[in-house]
Amino acid sequence: MAVSSITFAPAKIVRALLQAGCVRRAFSFFEERAEEIDDLHAEICSIPAPPFGEERRARYLRGRLAQVEPDELELDEEGNVIALLRGRSLFPLLVLSAHIDTVFPPNTDFTVRREGRILRAPGIADDGCGLAALIALAEAIRRYEIKTKGSILFVGTVGEEGEGNLRGVRHLLLKGRWAGRIDSFISLDGAGLERITNGALGSRRFRVRFIGAGGHSWGDFGIANPIHALGRAIARLVVYPTPLRPRTSFNVGRIEGGAGVNVIAREATMDVDLRSESAEELARLTNFFHRTVAEAAAAENGARASSAPPIEFEIELIGERPGGETPAESTLVRLAREATRVFGVDPFLDRASTDANIAISMGIPAITIGVGGTSGNVHTLNEWYDPHGREEGLKRALLIALGIAGLG
């Protein structure tokens, strides 16, 4: 891989960028076109993009990026939208990404409601504002003929949320035509200016099924009950002594089973999310979880009538996100900090599970940043985004991107 054009002086580079006429004109574009960017944002988020159903929104994104006349434009095999703005050289190659998908199922009402400039809709902040930023940044760079030494790859990824398990960015970095060619990675995800996510939060997600014979709640009372086993497993899991440092968490996010109040279920399932800042602690929690499920099944079978068949269980890994960290002293993080301070904000470093996880785990310098504005009720039907201050987020993102690619 090529080495980034910046090495030791991010503050100096940011000052130089702020003095460049093309950068100042791009800054004015973000300010003067604020309402148009709001309209773009609303239009994006009105297009459903449920898990594994991002095609319509991806086609829209591809069409909008086509208008900036990129040097290359494609919809890859996994469904990612990829547009290349080539610099003097292909390398260093920076990815600017935002994720296309939402956490919400296909039957969700994605109608965008406005209250003044405030936008309300499922996914409006996560990651509708990132997609709007991706398009606005590409438009500004092309409109004002901002030339770079290296190149920028604008990517709308699929499968960032939930069971998508980062499938889009995995394909981009590990299997697609750009695999092995990317030098730096920035994910635009959510609102705000304060956070710079340089830590990748590791997680493992499981689906557990308890399977039994089923029967009548009165006539067959005494046989092993999959729902009771599931309850035993949850009761065991919640007593796990999670440490404060490294921060660790677990969550039973979904349970299913049963056909009626007087029916002993034939099966019961639950989806479990395990996370930790530490790979070692995540491994300990995972081992405890596996023991918990086995012990719950054994306890339920031990309480059943001797003539009744036992229940069985299955544990399926449905998601795994690697952890890691882009060092605080790395050029990318230092540059992001300097670019944030330009706007009077003292940033803090953060750890989360985002598209940057894969790049970080591969040793590619990567961060996730917000794109300005404020938001609330994320991952609920009442999600909202206030674009006041969005222009500062766009300006910061542009400074970081041009600092990495090199103004040329």
**Could you say which of 305, 321, 337 is where a domain stops?**
321
The pLDDT confidence band at residue 5, using thresholds 50, 70 and 90, is very low
Strand ranges (E), 28-71:
none
> What pLDDT, on a 0 to 100 scale, did the predictor assign at position 353?
96
Decide if 47 is inside a domain: yes
Question: Is 66 domain-assigned?
Answer: yes
pLDDT at 17 over 70: yes
pLDDT of residue 1: 38
Structure confidence at residue 287 (pLDDT): 98
Q: Are both 152 and 81 inside the same structural domain?
A: yes
For residues 184 and 4, give the distance between their C-alpha atoms in angstroms, rounded to a whole number.
Answer: 8
Q: Is there a single domain that holds both residue 195 and residue 222?
A: no
Q: Give the gyration radius of the chain's Cα atoms.
A: 24
pLDDT at residue number 307: 82
Q: Average pLDDT in the 227-249 region?
A: 97
Tell me if 193 is assigned to some domain: yes
Q: How confident is the model at residue 305 (pLDDT cuts 50, 70, 90)?
A: confident
Which of 264, 295, 321 delimits the end of a domain?
A: 321
26 and 162 in a common domain: yes
pLDDT, tens only, 33-74: 999 999 999 999 999 999 999 999 999 999 999 999 999 999
Q: Domain residues for 309?
A: 202-321
Per-residue model confidence as pLDDT tens digits over 98-153: 999 999 999 999 999 999 999 999 999 999 999 999 999 999 999 999 999 999 99
Strand 93-99 and strand 151-157: the pairing is parallel
Flag whether 393 is in a domain. Answer: yes
H or E segment and range at residue 291? helix 279-302
CATH number where 182 lies: 3.40.630.10
- Cα dihedral sign for 120, 126, 128, 132? positive
Residue 3 lies in a domain: no
Q: Tell me if 56 is assigned to some domain.
A: yes
**Residue 309 pLDDT > 70, yes or no?**
yes
Domain for residue 1, yes or no? no
Going by their DSSP bridges, the two strands 81-85 and 72-75 should be labelled as antiparallel
Number of DSSP helices (H) and strands (E) in the chain, helices first: 11, 19
- Residue 368 reports pLDDT greater than 90: yes
Contact 359, 307 (CB under 8 A): no
Closest by CA to 337, choosing from 402, 258, 399, is 399
Cα-based torsion angle of the residue sequence 203, 331, 370, 56 in order, rounded to the nearest 10 degrees: -70
Q: Is 367 helix (H, G, I), strand (E, B) or coil?
A: strand
- State residue 8's pLDDT score: 59
Residue 172 inside a domain? The answer is yes
306 and 290, same structural domain?
A: yes
- Average of per-residue pLDDT values in the chain: 96
Same domain for 313 and 207?
A: yes
For 248-269, what is the mean pLDDT?
97
pLDDT tens digits for 378-404?
Answer: 999 999 999 999 999 999 999 999 999
Pair (133, 209) in one structural domain: no
User: Are 312 and 376 part of one and the same domain?
Assistant: no
Model's pTM, two decimal places? 0.92
For residues 23 and 164, membership in a common domain is answered with yes
Tell me which of 299, 321, 343 is where a domain ends.
Answer: 321
Check: CB of residue 347 under 8 Å from CB of residue 337.
yes
Residue 315 has pLDDT above 70, yes or no: yes
Residues 82 and 137 occupy one common structural domain: yes
Please indicate, yes or no, whether residues 104 and 181 belong to a single structural domain of this protein.
Answer: yes
Give the Cα-Cα-Cα angle 91, 87, 337 (nearest 5 degrees): 75
Total domains present in the chain = 2
pLDDT band at 306 (very low <50, low <70, confident <90, very high): confident
Residues 293 and 230 in one domain: yes
Tell me which H or E stretch contains 130: helix 129-143
| Whether residue 144 sits in one domain with residue 166 | yes
